C-alpha cells in the first residue's frame, strides 16, 4: 500500500521540485516586471469580479427586502382591485389567519389595513402611508431594520399611549424622537385627529414613501369597518422558497382546506405587483454576467502573456531538459506548476483587496447613493462565502485551461545538443 502511494506521489513531488528550481532561476529585470504585470491582471480581474458580485448581491437583497416589506412574497387582496390603493376589504376569519401561520412554508402572515394619514410640518402637511397591524404580525423587514426604540405588540397597549412606528426618513425630516407625541390627521367624511406615542423608528434609507405602523383597531375605528376585514394579507416565504413556489403552495392548500373562498381573492407575487423593481434587478444580473466574462477574458490574456514570458525566459533550460530526455508532457507539467504559483498569488491578492474594500464600504459607507433613485443611501455589499468560493474556483479553472493550451508551444522548442564531458 505504501509503495503504491509513493509511486503515485513521487512523480508529482519530483515535478514540483524541478518547477521550483526553474522558477527560482535568474530572470532579467524586464522579465520580472512583465510577470508582475501579468499577476496584476489576475489580481484586478479577481478583484473586479468579487466586488461586482458582492455589490449586486447587496443591491438585490436590499431592494428585494424593501419590495417584500410592501407586498410580502405574495399578497392576498380583493379580487380585481389594485393591491396598493384598494379601499375594498377581504374578510379573513381567525381560522384562516391561524391556518396560514401554521404552514411551514410561510414565515410570517401580515393582515393589513392601509390608509393615508397627514403629518403636520412647520409649513404644510405631509402624507404618509399607514399600516394597521394586529399584535406582532408585521413583516420581518421592520424588525430587521429597527434601530431606535421597539416594535410593540399592537394588540396590547395603553389606550392613553397608542404606539406608532415611523420610518427614519420621516422621523429625521420632522425631528421626531422616540417618546414624542405624534398627531396624525385622517381625511374621512370629516377630519379626524389621533394622537400617538412614537415607540420605534426603523431604517428606511431615505425613502419617504415607506409606511408608518400603528394598531389595527385604531384604523378599524377610523375607517368604520368590522373586525376581520383587511385591505390585504401579506405572506413571506420560509425555507428558501421563492415567490412563485409560495404562491403555488398557498393556492393549493387554500383550495384543499376550504378555509377561505379563494375565488374571491386576488393572489399575486411581489414580482407581479412590483414589476419595475424586479425587472431592474434582472437587468443587474445581465450586466454582472457581461462584466464577469470581460474580466475573465482580460485575466486569460494576461495569463497567456505571463506563460509566454516564462517560456521564452526559460528556453535554454527547456532545451537542456529535452536534451536530457525529458518529454514534452513533463516539461509542460513543470511550467503548469510554475504558472499555478502565479495564478494563486494573483487570486489571493485579489481576494485580500476585495475583502478590504468591502469591509471599508460596509463600515464607513464610502460610496453614497440617492435613496429616491436606488432605495438605499449607500452602495450595499454582501459577503457570501459560497459565491466567493465559486468565483475563485471558476477563475482558477479558466486560467488553468488557458495555461494548458499555451504551454503547447513548448513542443516547438528544439532540444539542446548533447552535452559532452571530458
Per-residue pLDDT tens over the stretch 312-369: 888 888 888 888 788 888 889 888 988 898 999 999 999 999 999 999 999 999 999 8
Q: Would you state the pLDDT for residue 10?
A: 42
Q: Would you state the pLDDT for residue 18?
A: 55
Residue 51 and residue 134 in one domain: no
Residue 282 and residue 408 in one domain: yes
Quote the CA–CA distance of 365 and 405 in Å, as a whole number: 43
Domain boundary among 164, 195, 213: 213
Q: How confident is the model at residue 6 (pLDDT cuts 50, 70, 90)?
A: very low
Q: Would you state the pLDDT for residue 248?
A: 93
Higher pLDDT, 331 or 50: 50
Q: Report the chain's mean pLDDT, rounded to a whole number.
A: 86
Residue 152 and residue 26 in one domain: no
- Does residue 286 lie within any of the structural domains? yes
Quote the CA–CA distance of 194 and 162 in Å, as a whole number: 9
- Does residue 395 lie within any of the structural domains? yes
- Does residue 198 lie within any of the structural domains? yes
With 0-12 / 13-18 / 19 or more C-beta atoms within 10 angstroms meaning exposed / middle / buried, residue 125 is exposed
Instruction: Look at the chain and report how many structural domains it folds into.
Output: 2
Higher pLDDT, 144 or 122: 144
Q: Would you state the pLDDT for residue 401?
A: 95
Domain boundary among 213, 244, 262: 213
Residue 403 and residue 310 in one domain: yes
With 0-12 / 13-18 / 19 or more C-beta atoms within 10 angstroms meaning exposed / middle / buried, residue 301 is middle
Quote the CA–CA distance of 309 and 139 in Å, as a whole number: 59
83 near 71, Cβ under 8 Å? yes
Higher pLDDT, 195 or 124: 195
Residue 146 and residue 53 in one domain: no
H/E element, 77: strand 74-78
Residue 300 and residue 406 in one domain: yes
Domain boundary among 197, 213, 229: 213
With 0-12 / 13-18 / 19 or more C-beta atoms within 10 angstroms meaning exposed / middle / buried, residue 95 is exposed
pLDDT at 7 over 60: no
Q: Cell 533550460 identifies what position?
A: 317
> Is the full-model pTM beyond 0.75?
yes
DSSP state of 228: T
| Residue-number span of the structural domain to which 46 is assigned | 13-65+278-412
Higher pLDDT, 417 or 40: 40
- Does residue 271 lie within any of the structural domains? no
- Mean per-residue pLDDT, 273-298: 89
Quote the CA–CA distance of 248 and 103 in Å, as a whole number: 13
Q: How confident is the model at residue 262 (pLDDT cuts 50, 70, 90)?
A: low
- Mean per-residue pLDDT, 5-22: 48
- Does residue 374 lie within any of the structural domains? yes
Q: Would you state the pLDDT for residue 258?
A: 66
pLDDT one-digit tens code per residue, 67-98: 899 899 999 988 777 776 777 888 888 888 99
pLDDT at 419 over 70: no
Name the phi and psi angles at 49, rounded to 5.
-60, -45
- Mean per-residue pLDDT, 365-386: 86
CA 16 to chain centre: 40
Q: Would you state the pLDDT for residue 382?
A: 94
Phi-psi region of 264 (alpha: psi -120 to 50; beta: other; left: phi over 0): alpha
Residue 282 and residue 394 in one domain: yes
- Does residue 99 lie within any of the structural domains? no
User: 18, 11, 37: which is closest to 335 by C-alpha?
Assistant: 18
Residue 197 and residue 302 in one domain: no
- Does residue 37 lie within any of the structural domains? yes
Quote the CA–CA distance of 385 and 378 in Å, as a whole number: 22
- Mean per-residue pLDDT, 191-218: 90
66 near 207, Cβ under 8 Å? yes
pLDDT at 4 over 80: no
CA 39 to chain centre: 29
pLDDT at 224 over 50: yes
Residue 291 and residue 191 in one domain: no
335 near 407, Cβ under 8 Å? yes
Residue 57 and residue 141 in one domain: no
Residue 167 and residue 51 in one domain: no
The percent of residues above 70 in pLDDT, for the chain, comes to 88
- Mean per-residue pLDDT, 234-254: 91
Buried b (16+ CB within 10 A) or exposed e, 219-241: bbebbeeeeeebbbbbbbbeeeb
- Does residue 396 lie within any of the structural domains? yes
Q: Cell 516547438 identifies what position?
A: 412
Amino acid at each position: 500500500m505504501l509503495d503504491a502511494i509513493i509511486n503515485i506521489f513521487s512523480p508529482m513531488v519530483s515535478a514540483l521540485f524541478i518547477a521550483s528550481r526553474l522558477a527560482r532561476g535568474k530572470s532579467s529585470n524586464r522579465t520580472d516586471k512583465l510577470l508582475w504585470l501579468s499577476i496584476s491582471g489576475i489580481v484586478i480581474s479577481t478583484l473586479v469580479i468579487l466586488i461586482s458580485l458582492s455589490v449586486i448581491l447587496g443591491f438585490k437583497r436590499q431592494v428585494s427586502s424593501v419590495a417584500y416589506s410592501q407586498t410580502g412574497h405574495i399578497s392576498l387582496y380583493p379580487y380585481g382591485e389594485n393591491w396598493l390603493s384598494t379601499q375594498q376589504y377581504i374578510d379573513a376569519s381567525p381560522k384562516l389567519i391561524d391556518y396560514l401561520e401554521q404552514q411551514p412554508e410561510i414565515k410570517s402572515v401580515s393582515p393589513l389595513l392601509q390608509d393615508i394619514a397627514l403629518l403636520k410640518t412647520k409649513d404644510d402637511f405631509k402624507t404618509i402611508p399607514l399600516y394597521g397591524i394586529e399584535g406582532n404580525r408585521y413583516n420581518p423587514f421592520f424588525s430587521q431594520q429597527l434601530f431606535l426604540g421597539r416594535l410593540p405588540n399592537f394588540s396590547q397597549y395603553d389606550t392613553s399611549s397608542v404606539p406608532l412606528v415611523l420610518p427614519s426618513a420621516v422621523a429625521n425630516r420632522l425631528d421626531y424622537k422616540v417618546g414624542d407625541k405624534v398627531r396624525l390627521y385622517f381625511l374621512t367624511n370629516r377630519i379626524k385627529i389621533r394622537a400617538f406615542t412614537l415607540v420605534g423608528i426603523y431604517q428606511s434609507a431615505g425613502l419617504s414613501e415607506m409606511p408608518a405602523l400603528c394598531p389595527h383597531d385604531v384604523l378599524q375605528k377610523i375607517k368604520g369597518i368590522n373586525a376581520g376585514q383587511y385591505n390585504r394579507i401579506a405572506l413571506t416565504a420560509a425555507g428558501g422558497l421563492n415567490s412563485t413556489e409560495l404562491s403555488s403552495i398557498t393556492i393549493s392548500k387554500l383550495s384543499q382546506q376550504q378555509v377561505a373562498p379563494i375565488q374571491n381573492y386576488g393572489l399575486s407575487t411581489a414580482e407581479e405587483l412590483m414589476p419595475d423593481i424586479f425587472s431592474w434587478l434582472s437587468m443587474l444580473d445581465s450586466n454582472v454576467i457581461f462584466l464577469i466574462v470581460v474580466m475573465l477574458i482580460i485575466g486569460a490574456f494576461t495569463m497567456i502573456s505571463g506563460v509566454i514570458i516564462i517560456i521564452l525566459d526559460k528556453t535554454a533550460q527547456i532545451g537542456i531538459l529535452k536534451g536530457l530526455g525529458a518529454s514534452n508532457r513533463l516539461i509542460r507539467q513543470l511550467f503548469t506548476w510554475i504558472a499555478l504559483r502565479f495564478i494563486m498569488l494573483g487570486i489571493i491578492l485579489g481576494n485580500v483587496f476585495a475583502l478590504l474594500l468591502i469591509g471599508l464600504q460596509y463600515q464607513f459607507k464610502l460610496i453614497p447613493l440617492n435613496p429616491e433613485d436606488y432605495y438605499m443611501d449607500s452602495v450595499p455589499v454582501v459577503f457570501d462565502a459560497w459565491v466567493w468560493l465559486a468565483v475563485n474556483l471558476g477563475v482558477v479553472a479558466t486560467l488553468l485551461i488557458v495555461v494548458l493550451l499555451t504551454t503547447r508551444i513548448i513542443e516547438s522548442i528544439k532540444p539542446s545538443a548533447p552535452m559532452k564531458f571530458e
